[in-house]
Amino acid sequence: MPASQFGERQYELAANLELLAGSSRFFAPTTPVEASLGIDAALTPGDPRVWRLLGLPPPRGVRADPGSFSAWPAGTPASATPPFLLSLFLQYKRSTRLTRSTANEWSAHRAPYWRVDLSARQHQTLLDLEAAVQGDAEVRYAAPRFWRHEDMWYLQGSSGVIDNSLLISPASIGSGHECITWSQGRGMLAHSEPRNVEFENAESFGRALRTRTRPARVRRPRDHFDELAEALAPLTPSKRDKAAWALQVADQLERERDHADIDREVDAEVVDVLADFAVVAEAAQAAGASWTILVLRGEDALG
C-alpha cells in the first residue's frame, strides 16, 4: 500500500504555484496549465493587482503601479470586468495507491486504484461552502494521481502537477462517505456503499468553468467580492458579518495611519473591500481551502 511520500502541504504548494505560474503574487500562466484551464490570470486576494482590477487605490503599505497588472488595459474604468471572473476554493488531499487484492475497496475496482480518505467534519464544511457560493465560486477537492517523491519533483519541473490531479466537487460525493476511490477502468466511487462520483481533470474543469461563469461578465469585480462575502458570512466561525469586519479594518487602518503620521483619510471603498476579503478568507480557512481569484480567457479577451 504505497502511501504518498509527500505531505498535503507540499502538494498544495506545488499545485498552487503551478496554477499561479510560479509567482507568489501575480500569475499570467505560460505553462501547460494555461492550455488546460484557459486561465489568463490568477490572483491571490492580498495581491496589489486585485486593487487595480477593482479600480481602487490599495491601502497604505501595498505597492501598485501602472505595471502591476499588465494584462489590464490602462485607463480601464472600474466598472469594467475581465472576460470571466471567478473565485476558486481548493481543498488538497493526499492519495494512497492500493495494489493488493486484500485492500478494502479492491472488489469495486478489481485492479490497482487510488483512495482519498475524507474527514466527515471537513467534508460537511465544504458541502456548506459549496452550497453557499453557487454561482459565485467553485469548490473542489484536488487529489494527485502520483505518490512518489520523484514523481512530485518531475511533475513540478514539467508543470504537470495539476494535469495529473483529479478535481472533485464535494456535492458530487454527497454525505455519509468515508473515502473516494478511483481507477482507470472503474472511474471514481464514493464509499462505504460504493456509488459513482463525477470527477474532472484540468482540461474538463477549465472547459466547465468557462461555460458556467458566463454570467460573471456582466458584474463588476467589486460586486463579485461583495456577493461572495455576503454568501459566506454565516459560515465563518466568528459569525462576524461584513459590517463588523469593516469596523475592525477601519480602526486598524486609522491606527496605522496615525502611527505613520500619514495625512490621508482612510478610503471607505478600501475598507469595504478589505472587509469582504476578511469574511471570505475566514470562511475559506475554516474549510481548510485555498482561495484563488481566476480571470479566465474568453473570445473577447482583454484589450
Q: Which of these, 204, 197, 196, 198, lies nearest to 163 by C-alpha position? A: 204
| Residue 191 cell numbers, joined | 464509499
> Over 80: is that where the pLDDT of 69 sits?
no
CA 16 to chain centre: 9
Q: Can you give the length of the chain in residues? A: 303
Cβ atoms 42, 11 nearer than 8 A: no
Average pLDDT over the chain, rounded to an integer? 75
**pTM score, two decimals?**
0.77
- Pick 269 or 143 by higher pLDDT: 143
Q: Which residue is listed with cell 505595471?
A: 67
Q: Please indicate whether residue 12 or residue 63 has the higher confidence score (pLDDT).
A: 12
Using an 8 Å Cβ cutoff, are 53 and 33 in contact?
Answer: no
Side-by-side strand order, sheet with 26-27: 26-27, 39-43, 290-296, 84-92, 137-144, 165-168
Instruction: For the chain, give every domain's residue range.
Output: 8-296
Most confident stretch, 76-85, 191-200, 204-213: 191-200
Cβ count near 104 (within 10 Å): 13
Q: Of 131, 212, 115, which is closest to residue 171 (Cα–Cα)?
A: 131
Residues 6+ apart with CB under 8 A from 48: 25, 58, 62, 63, 64, 68
Q: Which pLDDT band holds residue 171 (cuts at 50, 70, 90)?
A: very high
Residue 52: the pLDDT is 66
Strand duo 39-43 + 290-296: pairing: antiparallel
Predicted confidence band of residue 263 (pLDDT cuts 50, 70, 90): low
Report the sign of the C-alpha dihedral through residues 88, 178, 145, 13, in that order: positive
Percent of the chain with pLDDT over 90: 28
| Farthest-apart Cα atoms in the chain, separation | 71
Could you report the per-residue pLDDT of 124-170, keeping only the tens digit for each? 999 999 999 887 788 999 999 998 889 988 988 888 888 899 999 99
Pairing of strands 84-92, 137-144: parallel
Amino acid at 22: G
Assign 264 a pLDDT band (cuts: 50, 70, 90): low
What is the rounded average pLDDT of the residues 77-84?
A: 43
H or E element in which residue 168 lies = strand 165-168
